[in-house]
Structure 1
Amino acid sequence: MSAHRPPADRGDAGAPAEQPEPSTADDVPVAETGDFWLLLGAAALLGVFGGLFGLFFMWLLHLGQSWYAYSSPGWMGGHWWWVALTAAAGLVIGLLRWATRLPFKTPGLIADLQDQYVNPRLVPGILLVSTASLIGGASLGPEKALGSVGGGLGQWMAARRRLDDDGRGATTLSGMAGAYGGLFSSPVIVVMMIVEIARPGGAKLTRVLVTSIISASISFGVYFAIAGTVFLDLYEVPSFSYENWYLLAGVGIGLLAAIVSALLGLIVTVSGKLFDRLRLPDIVKSIIGGVLFGVIGVVLPLTMMTGTDQLGVVLKEGSTLGLGLVAVLVIAKMITMGVSLGSGFIGGPIFPSLFIGGTAGVALHLAVPGLPLGLTFTCMLAAVVGGFVSAPFAMVLFAAFTTQIGALNTTPVLLAVITSFVTVQAVQFLLARRARAADAPTH
């Protein structure tokens, strides 16, 4: 029902006065549009589907990755037959791309969220290739496959309903929220991450918030009811008491995290360009990529897979592994992630980035024992990913929920994340400005 408007004033001659301009779509309350209620229904369905599919997909990965068992987490703890397996995974990925006609370069997870669009035609190929990538040991996460399935289904439903652009974007994002509802620790983290990366504005923000909350919450409920567990308290860090100087330490840790984030972005970019320059068939590139991260995995077995379980090993055994090995793990994981993405494997960047950030935090504690392990681990875990994927507040919540450090100790984490985020954004601005100046015609 539209809002009541007073009748137009008339002049002395009885002629109608100038009429006000018609209201725009943003002037109409969201709840008074018919599409809004369609979006709510679609969000609920996407939440149920996302929870069930997320459970199945994670179970499938757990089953497929059962071959991964190392003799020790230290140097040369892997097995050389891993290289044959990872090379075979590259071959399978090349064949799957050919069979599904999937392009060698497909939009990444961040691009999907920013564009608020997932091409449904690419979803089958992305799902198959990503499954083979993750089972084959690539240093990638499951969030790309889950997001593509949920977002692609949302895009298809919106097209069937003939929703407008805002409605299609909101439905796509709610589909991705449903896919992530059980993957992360809380629906709050999922919604915050989607809003930070997608950055919907105007009336769309309300649609995205409401539909994402519904979808992620229903998915979380389905996932938890069946699995009985989520990522809460995943990483048990030693408790530490808050001190005021931790605030300054958080800023310094944030600057270090920005360097790690920038180095990660550089390695991923350079790796992609190197594989692009290879004058070889795409299937050969995937095989080469599989061999490369397989060899690194034999030397450093903790660089394999998504990094979730491997980070727990680093956290518990960091002092035994030693500063040198832990520092090398940070760089090696960056390389395997860049090789995996550049050679045609498909997966998400968030989970391997969490390993990089958390491991860098352990290395910082080993280098500076005066900094509590709980502080360095949590700050770097959140700040590296927050700067790399531009989702600072979502990563603060994720770090706080998965480590259970307490509300008071979250303050230095927040300072570390925002310092990393602002620093990375400033560097990107300066580089872009320099590039524009170089491209400008000289007079």
Structure 2
Amino acid sequence: MTETPAAPTTTRALLRGSVPALGVGVGSALTLVALSGLAAWLQQRIWHDLPASWGVPQDSPWWTVAVLTVTGVLVGAVVRWVPGHAGNDPATSGLVAPPLPAGTVPGLALALVLGLAGGVSLGPENPIIAINVALAVWLLARPGSGTAAAGPVGLATAGTIGAMFGTPVAAVLVLTEALAEHGRGEGRLFDRLFGPLVAAGAGALTMQLIGAPTFSVDVAPYGEPRLWDIVAAVVVATCAALLAYLAVLSFAPVHRAFHLLRSPVLALGLAGLVLGALGAIGGPLTLFKGLDEMKELAERADELGWLALLGIAAVKTVALVVASGAGFRGGRIFPAVFIGVAVGLAASGLVPAVPAAVAVAAGVLGAVLVVARSGWLALFMAVVTVGDIALLPVLCLAVAPVWLAVRAMPEMLLPAAGDDRPEFAALSGAGPKHPA
């Protein structure tokens, strides 16, 4: 039997859909601001006020170990006993995933805030997207309403990505790739992206009005393009990709080792102890999600030297594997960007002929390409991190050989039990009409 072609989207339908898109975009940004602000407040109490009141140096190694260990135990307790168990195992969830039941939101939010404040080397992206998607589906696709979950999932995903990265471009690139790979809908692509684009724009504008920090680091602006820059970019991106590939190779064994403990309290408590030891070795710059730390890294690059920068990148890579493999709730893109920045600064310090902007952008390109397995997102993050669109032609040429190597590598993502990892099924309309 032949399928009946889908009716074309009307202008009235697009206008009608833009209203919830605006609401979801603004709401997604406000959720990000609220949870990030709460985590920042708690971080200030834990890492500054409390040790100061006790006369303990803020960068004391034993304080770092103690805080990360306690953080692991607390997050483990949330995963074990709070209803919903703080959502899915992060090792099995990508940036875009099917919606979680709304009942998991409080536990996931608590686990995220504790991890961010406690210094865990993960970003907020995956949990924030999951929270906003769950809330959007719960509000807009209630059971029995007959509304498919695909629309709210796309809106909340786009709104959150737009807010987090400060521009709707990142959201459109991610969703375009998702629809191209898994989409089954009919009609013009821009019609299908119209609502998510509005949501992403609303989220990004909300963050800009609030004055949220950006991803860009302070490096010397890029000058006149040279053929040598393309070669340098390929070499640096390859080095960053190889370091990230080591993380991918160790991801499954580390995940398996921690989960042999069965109890999330024990597993995450032990992981917290390991992360504390890594933080004591690598210093405060290797803690937390990495957004503020990579800016400080760029400011102190000359002082630290290229060998120390490589050491920091290596420690951060191990911390990323331990944190994500053990089950801390968080995303892998923020630390991947930090790793890329550290590798790029090290390359520029080792070979001064390589412009810092080229090296940093290429480092981010290689690291994100392996960790996120998205060429569009890697290119976008590389340009945003250095804040120079003039680098885009160089990066577009540099990404080609690196992608040919990366595409054959395993992903930093494990299959969930009894699941074929349909990360984008809900976006294409193949997912459920409401979360189970």
TM superposition score normalised by structure 2:
0.82
Segment drifting more, 193-202 vs 336-345:
193-202
In structure 1, distance between residues paired with 2:190 and 2:120:
37
Q: Equivalent residue for 1:3?
A: none
Segment drifting more, 245-254 vs 353-362:
245-254
Change (3 A) 1:377 1:78: farther
Instruction: Select the residue among 389, 393, 397 that pairs with 2:380.
Output: 397
Describe how 1:11-90 pairs up with structure 2 within 5 A.
23-25=4-6, 28-31=7-10, 39-66=17-44, 67-68=46-47, 78-90=60-72
Q: Equivalent residue for 2:428?
A: none
In structure 1, distance between residues paired with 2:137 and 2:400:
33
In structure 2, distance between residues paired with 1:139 and 1:304:
6
Describe how 1:273-284 pairs up with structure 2 within 5 A.
273-278=256-261, 280-284=262-266
Q: Equivalent residue for 1:433?
A: none
Bigger relative contact order, structure 1 or 2 (CA pairs below 8 A, ≥6 apart):
2
Q: Equivalent residue for 2:298?
A: 315
Describe how 1:167-316 pairs up with structure 2 within 5 A.
167-197=148-178, 199-203=181-185, 205-206=189-190, 208-225=192-209, 227-231=210-214, 234-241=216-223, 242-278=225-261, 280-301=262-283, 302-316=285-299
Instruction: Select the residue among 122, 129, 132 that pairs with 2:104.
Output: 122
In structure 1, distance between residues paired with 2:305 and 2:207:
38
Q: How far off its partner does 1:47 sit? A: 1.1
Q: How far off its partner does 1:273 sit? A: 1.7
In structure 1, distance between residues paired with 2:358 and 2:23:
40
Describe how 1:369-388 pairs up with structure 2 within 5 A.
369-388=352-371
In structure 1, distance between residues paired with 2:240 and 2:59:
28
Change (3 A) 1:200 1:156: farther
Q: What per-residue deviation string (whole Å, max 9, x for no partner) do you get for residues 101-148 of structure 1?
A: 444881549835554433433222211111111111100001122101
TM superposition score normalised by structure 1:
0.81
Matched, 1:100 2:82: yes
Partner of 1:427: helix, strand, or coil? coil
Does the Cα contact within 8 Å between 1:192 and 1:394 map onto a contact in 2? yes
Q: How far off its partner does 1:329 sit? A: 1.2
In structure 1, distance between residues paired with 2:76 and 2:370:
32
Identity of aligned residues (%): 23
Q: Equivalent residue for 1:413?
A: 395
Equivalent pairs counted in the alignment come to: 398
In structure 2, distance between residues paired with 1:358 and 1:88:
29
In structure 1, distance between residues paired with 2:136 and 2:176:
17
In structure 1, distance between residues paired with 2:37 and 2:88:
25
Q: How far off its partner does 1:247 sit? A: 2.1
Q: What per-residue deviation string (whole Å, max 9, x for no partner) do you get for residues 24-81 of structure 1?
A: 22xx1123896x666433322211211222221221122122244699xxxx954312
Q: What per-residue deviation string (whole Å, max 9, x for no partner) do you get for residues 191-233 of structure 1?
A: 21233356452436556511211111112222222x234416x
Q: Equivalent residue for 2:425?
A: none
In structure 1, distance between residues paired with 2:172 and 2:289:
22
Partner of 2:61: helix, strand, or coil? coil
In structure 2, distance between residues paired with 1:148 and 1:410:
31
Does the Cα contact within 8 Å between 1:104 and 1:344 map onto a contact in 2? no
